[in-house]
Amino acid sequence: MAATRTFSIIKPDATRRNLTGAVTKMLEEAGLRVVASKRIRMSRQQAEGFYAVHKERPFFEDLVAFMISGPVVVQVLEGEDAVARNRKVMGATNPANADEGTIRKAYAESIEANSVHGSDSEENAATEIAFFFKPDEIVG
Ligand code: CMP
């Protein structure tokens, strides 16, 4: 199967605890290659736009506040079946349900402060990558 791409965010709870390297190591060990990466402080407008699909959810305001509460690392990951591979190594959204050996089991603090985001489909991966990266910032 050809390599595909997905989009990842190392969230503020993880950057605050200096876990950028530890999280990235788990991504790499799962067979994903970081082909773009930048540490940014998301603006409120960016966070609201990125999570627009959740606008009507009761946790939306808290989610946006959390995502702008500290730096994040946005990444493009490449590998065989990258979306599914990344979701497997991330583990369940709620760390209480995450399997052993996953990033969220190892590091997530709560369903909100769950250390990482990963795209849930190839289509959303393309949209999310384009939200944060220009084509020439991605070097495979
Ligand atoms: P993420 O993959 O970044 O996409 C949406 C985020 O909303 C999700 O991870 C969670 O961190 C966050 N979130 C907060 N509360 C909830 C909830 N009750 N159900 C689902 N997601 C939640």
**pLDDT tens-digit profile of 77-102?**
999 999 999 999 999 999 999 999 99
- Which residue numbers in the chain have pLDDT < 70? 1
Q: Are 137 and 18 in contact (CB under 8 A)?
A: no
Question: 117: Cβ below 6 Å to ligand 1?
Answer: yes
Residue nearest to atom 1 of ligand 1 (CA): 117
Alpha helices by DSSP H, the chain: 12-16, 20-29, 44-50, 60-67, 82-90, 103-107, 122-132
Q: What is the DSSP letter of 88?
A: H
pLDDT score for 2 = 83
Helix (H) or strand (E) holding 4: strand 3-10
Topology annotation, domain 3-135: Alpha-Beta Plaits (3.30.70)
CA 71/CA 40 separation, integer angstroms: 6
Residues with Cβ within 8 Å of 9's Cβ and at least 6 positions away in sequence, in order, are 72, 73, 74, 75, 116, 117
pLDDT score for 1 = 67
60 is in an annotated binding site: no
What are the residue numbers of the active site? 117
pTM above 0.75, yes or no: yes
Pocket mutation for ligand 1, best pick of 90, 114, 132 (most atoms within 8 Å of C-beta):
114
CA 17/CA 98 separation, integer angstroms: 20
Question: 20: Cβ below 6 Å to ligand 1?
Answer: no
Pocket mutation for ligand 1, best pick of 112, 115, 121, 127 (most atoms within 8 Å of C-beta):
112
134 is in an annotated binding site: no
CA 59/CA 56 separation, integer angstroms: 9
Per-residue H/E/C for 123-135: HHHHHHHHHHCCH
